[in-house]
Chain A
Amino acid sequence: MSSADTLVRPPVTRRAPSTRLLRSELRLLFGRRRNQILLVVLALVPVLVGVAIRVSTGDAEPGEGPPFLDRVSGNGLFLAFTGLATVLPFFLPLTVGVVSGDAVAGEAQAGTLRYLLTVPVARARVLAVKYGALVAFALAASFLVAAVGLVVGWALFPTGDVTLLSGTTVSPGAAVWRTALVALYVAASLAGLAALGLAVSTFTEVPVGAMATTVVLAITSQILDAIPQLSWLHPWLFTHQWLAFADLLRDPVPTGAIVDGLVLQAGWIAVALAIAWSRFTTRDITS
């Protein structure tokens, strides 16, 4: 008998890591009526834009209205990009702001936070699960808009080979693949905002305050980004490369702005999550 067989093991009470809490969080997030309505409103945007173009007589001039608006009547698949470009400045930040601002503050206000923490769930794990669910929500929101855009565009307009912004022509299948990449990039852009919202959410027991603050952050960042005199600040703004997804519609893809945007998001996520962690792990839960 080897010595390993006689080794006395301490009692293991903790089981293997489990995704049960994350799945529970996703059910909570996607099952909530308010969040479902937010997603429906988002999905309506490409429908609205598509119908508006379809029923209008005059073609849009290039540069008029939301990006790529003039291309939609030529190829319906562009409606996915137009839809995303339309919701990106306001509707998507609003949705992500509401959901992320509510993440911790909502549970604090309802009092469910104290029961979650006494289960016990480690506070860092609460944050990780909350953030994971928020990223999933951002992914769902951007893919939903892209998918509805593709379907409505395909139904209302001629489709076929897609002429990219660089003039190259790709097959519809390749265009759908690029649409998925664009949706991924948009979700990554929102991941930074979601982290900021989560951080704000750890500072208050008033979810509405956290939601409003997060949305205001997104809008302020975009306003600052539009002021040329502040160009030194622009590379640091988390919204700065949000529209760089258009580069994914060129061939070959110029990766500079895309990579910049992803690095920028990673930096903001790291900072925001660090703030959230330092606040939440030391905070007195008195609600």
Chain B
Amino acid sequence: MTAAVETAHPVGTPPRTDAAVRTTGLTKRFRSGQVAVDDLGLLVPRGSVMGFLGPNGSGKTTTIRMLLGLVTPTSGQVELLGEPIPQASARVLPRVGALVEGPAFHPYLSGRANLVRLDAADLTVDRRTSTARIDAALDRVGLGAAATKRFRTYSLGMKQRLGLASALLRPRELFVLDEPTNGLDPQGTREVRTLVRELAAEGCTVLVSSHLLAEIEQICDRVTVMRAGRVVAAGTLQELALLARPSVVVETPDLDRAVAVLRRLGASSATPDDDRLRVRAELPDVAVEDVTRALVRADVAVRGIGRSGRSLEELFVDLTGEGFDVVG
């Protein structure tokens, strides 16, 4: 009688979609009238490491708060791991590790006691494994030695680490990390990068927000750029690099023939410089060596050739505006 078949697939499990995070038309207008997030469509494919980029005040944190059910959208939908938020929060959020706008813990409790409290709040974990999981999380962020110190005595970097430890208290499928390297020294920053890579290698999806492009460039394969509550660019890093419109600069005495070759290669524009020593062409899809080969075959005397273009950083500044004009 007890030989029941237990291997059948679970009923009631919603179909897995390929998106870990999907928002449609997400809008938040605060009572003050300020529109923090405006018709935002955010898509984070499962298994990706998505950089969420934007200057301070661009609406990243409000978006993250809506993803986690802390703030109710004025309109639009949020789906996390294929289920609607906030309706399915109780089912979904245990599978999501989150760091929202910096770490926050009870100052007069130790780091460990703070984690015990968060673990105690979770109805879906096995309390018998609590100690082991807390120790593992503390060790993973390098806080094992300082675990019994009061949170108020922690440095900013230690506080940030404790925040990450709370996200690691149990296995997760998705991590939403808001400025995870804020306040960390270079060593700590590198550890966070390693941690994010490890999580991605385990198959987790990671959404990392930052106002620093360099940060995102190093750990993310995809980027969404926000400005003033709207998405201004989204895609893989390669796609974004193309947006930066790199160009080829050829230094040559045979200007006309060089222009002809470049046009044949597909350059949308190929214009000689004013001093008529160089020609600049927008050729995003062709490698420099292929351009060189084509020029040489066409018997163009090449004195020098190279790529020039805006860096991703310049693109980021172009997309989001200079740093100090906070959009209200």
- Whether A61 sits at the interface, judged by CB under 8 Å, is no
Name the distance in Å between A273's Cβ and chain B's nearest Cβ: 20
Q: Using an 8 Å CB-CB cutoff, how does the interface string of B1-27 with A read, 1 for contact, 0 for none?
A: 110110011111100000000000000
Q: Give the B-binding residues of A (Cβ under 8 A).
A: 1-2, 5-6, 8-11, 13-15, 17-18, 20-21, 23-24, 28, 31-33, 110-112, 114-122, 282, 284-286
- Give Cα distance in the complex from A17 to B117, angstroms: 16
- Residues of chain B within 8 A (CB-CB) of A13 are 91, 94, 124
Which 9 pairs, one residue from A and one from B, show the smallest C-beta to C-beta distance? A111-B104, A20-B120, A120-B93, A10-B12, A285-B70, A24-B120, A5-B4, A284-B71, A8-B8
- Give Cα distance in the complex from A28 to B281, angstroms: 67
Q: Which of B95-103, B140-148, B193-201 contacts A (4 or more CB under 8 A)?
A: B95-103
- Residues of chain A within 8 A (CB-CB) of B91 are 13
User: A13-B94, A115-B100 are known contacts. Are A120 and B69 too (CB-CB below 8 A)?
Assistant: yes
- Give Cα distance in the complex from A6 to B124, angstroms: 26
- Residues of chain B within 8 A (CB-CB) of A17 are 123
Contact between chains at A14 and B11 (CB < 8 Å): no
Contact between chains at A116 and B118 (CB < 8 Å): yes
- Residues of chain B within 8 A (CB-CB) of A10 are 10-13
Known: A28-B106, A111-B101, A121-B121. 20 other contacts (CB 8 A): A2-B1, A6-B4, A8-B10, A8-B11, A9-B10, A10-B10, A10-B13, A13-B91, A13-B94, A14-B90, A15-B125, A23-B120, A24-B120, A110-B106, A112-B104, A112-B106, A117-B68, A118-B70, A119-B122, A286-B65
Output the nearest chain B residue to A282 by Cβ-Cβ distance: B72
- Whether B43 sits at the interface, judged by CB under 8 Å, is no
- Whether B105 sits at the interface, judged by CB under 8 Å, is yes
- Select which of B1, B8, B107, B116 is within 8 A of A24 by beta carbon: B116
Contact between chains at A5 and B106 (CB < 8 Å): no
Name the distance in Å between B174's Cβ and chain A's nearest Cβ: 12
- Select which of A9, A18, A32, A120 is within 8 A of B127 by beta carbon: A18
Output the nearest chain A residue to B61 by Cβ-Cβ distance: A286
Output the nearest chain B residue to A10 by Cβ-Cβ distance: B12
- Residues of chain B within 8 A (CB-CB) of A116 are 118, 121
In the assembled complex, 29 residue pairs joining A and B whose CB atoms fall closer than 8 Å, in A order, are: A6-B4, A6-B5, A8-B10, A9-B10, A9-B11, A10-B12, A13-B91, A14-B90, A14-B123, A15-B124, A23-B120, A24-B117, A112-B104, A114-B65, A114-B70, A114-B100, A114-B104, A115-B98, A115-B166, A118-B69, A118-B96, A119-B121, A120-B89, A120-B90, A284-B30, A284-B70, A284-B71, A286-B65, A286-B70
Among B9, B72, B98, B122, max chain A CB count under 10 A is at: B122
- Residues of chain A within 8 A (CB-CB) of B256 are none
- Whether B126 sits at the interface, judged by CB under 8 Å, is yes
- Residues of chain A within 8 A (CB-CB) of B100 are 114-115, 118
- Select which of A114, A118, A284 is within 8 A of B72 by beta carbon: A284
- Residues of chain B within 8 A (CB-CB) of A33 are 108
Interface of B is mostly: loop
- Residues of chain A within 8 A (CB-CB) of B126 are 15
- Residues of chain A within 8 A (CB-CB) of B10 are 8-11
- Give Cα distance in the complex from A286 to B106, angstroms: 18
- Residues of chain B within 8 A (CB-CB) of A2 are 1
- Residues of chain A within 8 A (CB-CB) of B240 are none
- Whether B265 sits at the interface, judged by CB under 8 Å, is no
Q: Using an 8 Å CB-CB cutoff, how does the interface string of B166-187 with A read, 1 for contact, 0 for none?
A: 1000000000000000000000
Contact between chains at A21 and B5 (CB < 8 Å): no
- Give Cα distance in the complex from A271 to B30, angstroms: 28
Contact between chains at A5 and B123 (CB < 8 Å): no
- Whether B109 sits at the interface, judged by CB under 8 Å, is yes
- Residues of chain B within 8 A (CB-CB) of A119 are 93-94, 118, 121-122
- Select which of B65, B107, B118 is within 8 A of A115 by beta carbon: B118
User: A10-B11, A11-B13 are known contacts. Are A117 and B70 too (CB-CB below 8 A)?
Assistant: yes
- Give Cα distance in the complex from A122 to B93, angstroms: 11
- Give Cα distance in the complex from A18 to B12, angstroms: 24
Contact between chains at B121 and A24 (CB < 8 Å): yes
- Residues of chain B within 8 A (CB-CB) of A21 are 120-121
- Residues of chain B within 8 A (CB-CB) of A118 are 68-70, 93, 96, 98, 100
Name the distance in Å between B149's Cβ and chain A's nearest Cβ: 16
Contact between chains at B108 and A285 (CB < 8 Å): no
- Residues of chain B within 8 A (CB-CB) of A32 are 108
- Give Cα distance in the complex from A13 to B96, angstroms: 14
Name B229-268 residues within 8 Å CB distance of A.
none
- Residues of chain A within 8 A (CB-CB) of B72 are 282, 284
Output the nearest chain B residue to A283 by Cβ-Cβ distance: B72
Name the distance in Å between B128's Cβ and chain A's nearest Cβ: 11
Contact between chains at A15 and B70 (CB < 8 Å): no
- Residues of chain A within 8 A (CB-CB) of B9 are 8
- Residues of chain B within 8 A (CB-CB) of A115 are 98, 100, 104-105, 118, 166
Output the nearest chain A residue to B122 by Cβ-Cβ distance: A119
